[in-house]
């Protein structure tokens, strides 16, 4: 089974940037949608951004214009470029992959936006 491993989280000041990476242990070619979710303390997990195998993208209203999702099938990796970060972006960010037969999540990476 393919495993997803996130990296790139950390502590950043408001207005700063981070790039998250999600490396899959196998090919992501079969996953028709890959995305990033986040969960803040006391809140439900929410979809942040998603990208299809045809490179169509979808973003939560709260991150439009600030976050960019991309995928590199050759490297089996999905990225989330996060700019103009705000304290309300603080959360654990999870990579997600969906195929016709399975739904996968990674273990998550913490993003903290604070001065």
pLDDT (0 to 100) of residue 83: 98
- Of 32, 38, 40, which Cα lies nearest the Cα of 63? 38
Spell out the per-residue pLDDT of the chain, length 115, in tens.
889 999 999 999 999 999 999 999 888 878 889 999 999 999 999 999 999 999 999 999 999 999 999 999 889 999 999 999 999 999 999 999 998 888 999 999 999 999 9
**Contact residues for 80 (Cβ-Cβ < 8 A; gap 6+):** 19, 20, 22, 36, 48, 49, 67, 68, 69, 93
pLDDT (0 to 100) of residue 78: 95
């Amino acid at each position: 089974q393919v495993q997803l491993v996130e990296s790139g989280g950390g502590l950043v000041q408001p207005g700063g940037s981070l790039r998250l990476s999600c490396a899959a242990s196998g090919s992501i070619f079969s996953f028709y949608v890959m995305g990033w979710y986040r969960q803040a303390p006391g809140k439900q997990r929410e979809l942040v951004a998603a990208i299809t195998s045809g490179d169509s993208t979808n973003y939560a209203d709260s991150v439009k214009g600030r976050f960019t999702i991309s995928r590199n099938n050759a490297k089996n990796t999905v990225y989330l470029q996060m700019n103009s970060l705000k304290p309300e972006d603080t959360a654990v960010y999870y990579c997600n992959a969906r195929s016709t037969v399975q739904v996968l999540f990674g273990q998550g990476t913490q993003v903290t936006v604070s001065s």
